[in-house]
Amino acid sequence: MSQPKIVLSKEFSSECKVELVELAAKPQFSLSLKRDYYSTITIQDVSMAQAKRYTAKILILYSNDDIIRLGIYQATQNLKAVVEHHSDRSAMKWANQKPHVITLFVYQDLDDWAQNNWIARSIWRDPNNSAARLVPVGTTNDFTADVQIQFADYQKHQAWRQFALRQVTSKYEFIKKVERWYPLANDIVKQALHLTQQKNQNLLLEPNYVQKMHQLATSYVEQVQHKFDEGTTGPSEVRDAEMKYVQTILNGGNIFLLFSNRGQEIWTDGKQRDYLLNKYIRQYFEDAEMLEFELKKLR
């Protein structure tokens, strides 16, 4: 691959901008499989009935397309040897089966990952598995070996990156945000739990229970769910706490969704509604406990 050249007699001005950009985009060292060009953020087993499937999120710190291709190739090859199961049931079904489909999302750094602002995504499908061949590829504009790749539009990626970075606040501001909205969410959820306990003990009739829960649902949406993120995000050091914060608030929203106008139309079976309610309440308090643990590490 020939390198772009800049005539030595040229001055460094706007006239040689194109050549400089092209030069910066070229690898300035030989590419080799002897070193890793990526690091793994997450690996998730999302297997289907007929195909073992992984999706992974990886970091590739370079913006050069050749290095991104190489990192994708390395990550895909390495994941082919991984055995991961999302549940005991999945482990029983697939035993030591290696994946038939591998999907990657590539990020430049953890801030891009937090905003889901990927620079590339890819898919590899086992040609010997019929179900894998049916997995849709989507839009692709590149490839490496048998891996199909979609590179994000560079200008859009950078524009979103700059926008997202302007929304990043300090650790102190993030903690202040959580301390403002989380106690309010917690208070409303605890009121819902108290009403549910009263109903289960036959101290509150079903119509009154539904009415009071509907009132709490309205309060939760208006006072918390529409305001809790403030359009900002914390720095990388608070990423775990921020994920738990968002998850906790959204799980609270799931509780009250059951008693919204739409929820009452969908979940007319009280037993099904109560099953989901108990599930969402349990999830809320589990995530709330993890959130408080993460906050202690930041303070």
* pLDDT for residue 5: 46
- What is the per-residue pLDDT for 23? 54
pLDDT, tens digit (0-9, with 9 covering 90-100), for 136-167: 777 888 888 889 999 988 888 888 777 766 77
Mean predicted confidence (pLDDT) in 210-236: 88
- Mean pLDDT along residues 112-133: 85
Q: Which amino acid is at 88?
A: D
From 28-32, 106-110, 155-159, 173-177, the region with the lowest mean pLDDT = 28-32
More confident residue, 212 or 169: 212
In whole angstroms, give the CA distance from residue 79 to residue 71.
Answer: 12
Q: Tell me which residue of 141, 123, 140 sits closest to 132, measured CA to CA.
A: 123
Which of 83-92, 236-245, 273-282 is the least confident region?
83-92
pLDDT above 90 covers a percentage of the chain that reads 37
Does residue 55 contact residue 135 with C-beta atoms inside 8 Å?
Answer: no
* pLDDT per position as a tens digit, 164-185: 667 778 889 899 999 999 999 9
The Cα 146–Cα 219 span in angstroms is 52
Q: Note the pLDDT tens digit of each residue in 51-61.
A: 888 889 999 98
